[in-house]
């Protein structure tokens, strides 16, 4: 089978799996339901890998229903398998399988006759993510965007016994629905202008003429939807609230893949739809994404440092890294894209592994509070080691994929502005340092015992007295729950060291950043790759910067643990408190910020475009 023909199957197989699970779910035991779900998810991984091998030569296109356009004009939907899109579908599928394996012994026994519910939802999530990465049609992308969202709300609120998961899911749902509306409105504007819905077709139509207010509004609205999904500042408020309460296996998928798909979507839509002369100029897009990216990175890292609730800490570190990914794509070069892609791959492994470790803590001690757990993790030596390795990987230690991706993205960003690499180093150091600090306290019992009770007026939750998601507290840690973080970290390592891997990602970046090439591939005029960049590789400067950020992370963590008076938690009285209080949990606040964010995007994009 040609690679193109496999593309629709990547979406169809998990969909079929979820339908089977729902139909048979009332008769299946839990083990059978989980095994069936995992089998469908793993089958999809295999399909993704076969498709990926096929498209490494060059992108493949599948027209759903066989509606191949005639003379460049058509009525159908294209699935476009460029190496980056298929690669992300593979990543999403792999992390879904990891979530399946992890939740096998993790989640509480489902109510009788409902064993199929959770695995079916996970499969639908996988289908949504794969569809979103593979589609070449803007409206179809919106459909899969909504599918991902709907499933994610339900999975976030899965533990309905407690009020907080529902509140988190509600904030997630309302803010992301707002993003959906914005995106749909933007697509409607583009359709009104061009009469097309395919990305390549709209891109072709915007390839001539002058940009005007309609194009600006469409760009701003579509980007808003995708940046809300990516949890970029000031659209990020939903993420910590949702990630802190979602079941841990779900967090692995949310933090490791779904949020990054927002960044992917923004980059994809810009390059295919708006990169032409009638769209949005490179400099306007760079300015917008760069400002948002830097703000996201800095805020995420700073907030991450202040958390003691381990899941919230990891959630804010995801925000920090999303900021770095946005900077990586903002420079709009193939090098930036391939660096970011490597970074995303490495980050997914490291972050999902860290969530897996926190899940073990939650299952065993009924707490995710860094202070309360002080020293209690000493008995879990292997988990402690994994947590530490994950923290260092997050900081970008060579030879992990995060380190390679960071180095390549850093270098690409440095071409845009010489101070950008400093943002990369600092943000990865602070987020890695925060995780390392928590690990030292929890698993090493290092430093003086922190005060267990919550400081007066501390804005965020501490994470003490959480209900374990396993139902009862775990005695022995099941092998599957340990195997998952080990495998994920091994994957993050492989991204950095596997020979030929970086070169393949580099080629994927070239294809991704090739506007005319994409249009030619989809619309059938065909065109060779217009620009072949040097493959990303380890450089001396990159390794040095990686080591600097790792050293800084270790330094920050050590200082915080052994000299808590100087660098520890600033508590309620710090200068940072007003910003911490912005994370208020009030959905009205989040909506107000989102609307202000739309306006900010417009203000950032308009200079040089229309004014």
Residues 415-434 that bind other proteins (CB under 8 A): none
Among 143, 170, 385, 558, binds other proteins (CB under 8 A): 143
Nearest approach in angstroms of CB 340 to other proteins is 27
Asked if 145 and 225 touch (Cβ cutoff 8 Å), the reply is: yes
Nearer to other proteins, 61 or 361 (CB): 61
Per-residue x/- marks for other proteins, 483-502, CB under 8 A?
--------------------
Choices 158-166, 316-324, 378-386, 532-540; region in contact with other proteins by CB under 8 A? 158-166
**Binders of other proteins in range 77-116 (CB under 8 A):** 77, 79, 111, 113-114
- Among residues 582, 586, 515, 596, the alpha carbon closest in space to that of 224 is found at 596
The least CB distance from residue 147 to other proteins, in Å, is 5
Q: Which of 9, 46, 45, 40 is nearest to 22 (CA)?
A: 40
Judged by CB under 8 A, the residue of 54, 74, 83, 276 near other proteins is: 74
Shortest Å, Cβ 97 to other proteins: 19
Instruction: Write the DSSP string, 249-305.
Output: HHHHHIIIIIHHHHHHHHHHHIIIII-STTS--HHHHHHHHHHHHHHHHHHHHHHHH
Which of 26, 381 has the CB closer to other proteins? 26
- The rounded distance, in Å, linking the Cα atoms of 410 and 402 is 12
Q: Which of residues 40-69 bind other proteins (CB under 8 A)?
A: 62-67
How far is the CA of 149 from the CAs of 128, 156, 251, in angstroms? 9, 10, 14
Distance CA 136, CA 524 (A): 13
* CB 477 to other proteins: min, Å: 25
Q: Output the smallest distance, CB 517 to other proteins, in A.
A: 23
- Each residue 3-42 as x (binds other proteins by CB under 8 A) or -, in order, gives --x--xx-xx--xx-xxx-xx-xx----------------
Among 30, 105, 164, 193, binds other proteins (CB under 8 A): 193
Instruction: Kindly report the backbone phi and psi dihedral angles of residue 163, in degrees, each rounded to the nearest multiple of 5, phi listed first.
Output: -75, -30
Look at residue 332 and give its three-state secondary structure.
Answer: coil
d(CA 307, CA 190): 42
Out of 40, 106, 153, 235, the only residue in the binding site for other proteins (CB under 8 A) is: 153
Apex CA 555: angle with CA 549 and CA 558, to 5°?
A: 140
Range 114-133, binding other proteins (CB under 8 A): 114, 117-118, 120-121, 124, 127-128, 131
Select 195 or 574, whichever has its Cβ closest to other proteins: 195
Supply 106's token pair: 């993790």
412 within 8 A of 293, measured Cβ to Cβ: no
Size of residue set near other proteins by CB under 8 A: 86
Residue 582 CB, nearest approach to other proteins (Å): 7
Q: How far is the CB of 123 from other proteins (least distance, A)?
A: 10
Rounded Cα distance, 456 and 172, in Å: 28
Select from 144, 246, 332, 435 the one that contacts other proteins (CB under 8 A). Answer: 144
- Interacting residues with other proteins between 388 and 417 (CB under 8 A): none
User: In this complex, which beta carbon is closest to other proteins, that of residue 10 or of residue 239?
Assistant: 10
Q: How far apart are CA 37 and CA 24, in angstroms?
A: 12
The single-letter DSSP state of residue 456 is: T
User: Which of 29/584 has CB closer to other proteins?
Assistant: 584
Quick check: 159 and 245 in contact, CB under 8 A? yes
Q: Could you count the other beta carbons within 10 Å of the beta carbon of residue 388?
A: 18
How far apart CA 375 and CA 11 sit, in angstroms, is 45
Closer of 82 and 137 to other proteins (Cβ): 137
Q: Which is nearer to other proteins, 502 or 602 (CB)?
A: 602
CB of 528 or CB of 603, closer to other proteins = 603
What DSSP assignment string belongs to 77-119?
A: -EEEE-HHHHHHHHHHHHHHHHHHHHHHTTSPPPPTT-TTHHH
Q: List the interface residues with other proteins, window 528-587 (CB under 8 A).
A: 581-582, 584, 586
Report the nearest approach of other proteins to the CB of residue 327 (Å): 24
Q: Kindly identify the residues of this chain, within the stretch 194-253, that bind other proteins according to CB under 8 A.
A: 195-197, 212-214, 216-218, 220
Q: DSSP per residue over 412-452, as a string? A: HHHHH-TTHHHHHHHHHHHHHHHHHHHHHHHHH--SSPPP-
Contacts of 305 (CB under 8 A, 6+ apart): 430, 431, 433, 434, 556
H or E, element range at 70: none
Nearer of residues 53 and 213 to other proteins, judged by Cβ: 213
Residue spans of alpha helices (H) in 515-586: 515-523, 540-562, 564-567, 577-581
User: Of the ranges 159-167, 371-379, 410-418, 566-574, which one interacts with other proteins (CB under 8 A)?
Assistant: 159-167
Q: In the complex with other proteins, which residue's Cβ is closer, 149 or 317?
A: 149
Which of 32, 35, 49, 154 binds other proteins (CB under 8 A)? It is: 154
- Tell me if 190 contacts other proteins by CB under 8 A: no
To other proteins, the closest distance from the beta carbon of 562 in angstroms equals: 37
In the complex, minimum distance from the CB of residue 13 to other proteins, in angstroms, rounded to a whole number: 9
Q: Which of 161, 208, 476, 479 binds other proteins (CB under 8 A)?
A: 161
Among the listed ranges 136-144, 259-267, 280-288, 369-377, the one in contact with other proteins (CB under 8 A) is 136-144
- Tokens for 421? 């690499």
Residues 308-347 binding other proteins (CB under 8 A) are none
Nearer Cβ to other proteins (39/596)? 596
């Amino acid at each position: 089978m040609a690679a193109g023909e496999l593309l629709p199957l990547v979406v169809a197989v998990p969909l079929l799996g979820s339908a089977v699970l729902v139909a048979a779910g009332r008769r299946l035991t839990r083990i059978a339901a989980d095994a069936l779900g995992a089998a469908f998810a793993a089958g999809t991984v295999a399909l993704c890998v076969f498709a990926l091998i096929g498209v490494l030569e060059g992108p493949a296109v599948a027209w759903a229903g066989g509606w191949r356009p005639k003379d460049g004009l058509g009525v159908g939907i294209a699935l476009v398998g460029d190496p980056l899109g298929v690669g992300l579908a593979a990543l999403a599928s792999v992390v879904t399988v990891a979530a399946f394996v992890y939740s096998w012994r993790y989640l509480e026994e489902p109510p009788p006759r409902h064993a199929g519910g959770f695995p079916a939802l996970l499969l639908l999530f996988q289908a949504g993510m794969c569809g979103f990465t593979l589609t070449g049609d803007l409206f179809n992308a919106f459909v899969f965007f909504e599918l991902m969202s709907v499933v994610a709300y339900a999975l976030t609120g899965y533990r309905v016994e407690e009020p907080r998961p529902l509140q988190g899911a509600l904030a997630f749902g309302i803010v992301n629905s707002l993003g959906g509306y914005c995106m749909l409105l933007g697509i409607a504007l583009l359709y009104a202008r061009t009469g097309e819905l395919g990305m390549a077709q709209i891109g072709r139509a915007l390839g001539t003429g002058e940009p005007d207010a309609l194009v600006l509004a469409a760009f701003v609205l579509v980007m808003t939807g995708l940046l809300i999904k990516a949890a970029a500042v000031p659209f990020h408020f939903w993420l910590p609230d949702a990630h802190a309460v979602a079941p841990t296996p779900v967090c692995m998928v949310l933090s490791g893949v779904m949020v990054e798909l927002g960044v992917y979507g923004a980059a994809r839509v810009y390059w295919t739809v708006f990169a032409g002369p009638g769209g949005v100029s490179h400099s306007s897009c760079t300015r917008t994404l760069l400002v948002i990216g830097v703000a996201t990175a800095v805020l995420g890292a700073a907030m991450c440092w202040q958390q003691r609730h381990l899941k919230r800490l990891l959630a804010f570190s995801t925000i920090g890294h999303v900021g770095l990914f946005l900077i990586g794509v903002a420079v709009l070069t193939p090098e930036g894209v391939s660096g970011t892609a490597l970074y995303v791959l490495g980050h997914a492994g490291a972050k999902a592994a860290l969530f897996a470790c926190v899940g073990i803590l939650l299952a065993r001690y009924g707490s995710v509070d860094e202070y309360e757990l002080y020293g209690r993790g000493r008995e879990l030596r292997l988990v402690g080691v994994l947590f530490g390795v994950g923290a260092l990987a997050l900081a970008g230690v060579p030879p992990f994929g995060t380190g390679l991706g960071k180095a390549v993205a850093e270098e690409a960003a440095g071409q845009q502005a010489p101070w950008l690499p400093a943002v990369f180093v600092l943000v990865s150091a602070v987020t890695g340092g925060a995780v390392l600090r928590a690990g030292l306290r929890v698993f090493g019992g290092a430093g003086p015992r922190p005060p267990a009770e919550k400081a007066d007026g501390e804005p965020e939750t501490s994470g003490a007295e959480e209900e374990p998601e396993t139902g009862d507290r775990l005695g022995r840690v099941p092998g599957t729950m340990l195997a998952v973080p080990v495998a994920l970290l091994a994957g993050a390592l492989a991204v950095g060291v596997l020979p030929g891997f970086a070169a393949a990602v580099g080629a994927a970046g070239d294809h991704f950043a090739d506007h005319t090439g994409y249009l030619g591939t989809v619309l059938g005029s065909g065109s060779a790759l217009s620009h072949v960049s040097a493959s990303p590789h380890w450089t001396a400067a990159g390794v040095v910067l990686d080591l600097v950020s790792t050293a800084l992370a270790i330094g920050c963590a050590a200082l915080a643990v052994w000299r808590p008076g100087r660098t520890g938690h600033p508590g309620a009285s710090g200068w940072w408190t007003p910003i911490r209080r912005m994370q208020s949990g009030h959905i009205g606040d989040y909506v107000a910020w989102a609307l202000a964010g739309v306006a900010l995007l417009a203000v950032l994009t308009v200079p040089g475009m229309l004014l």
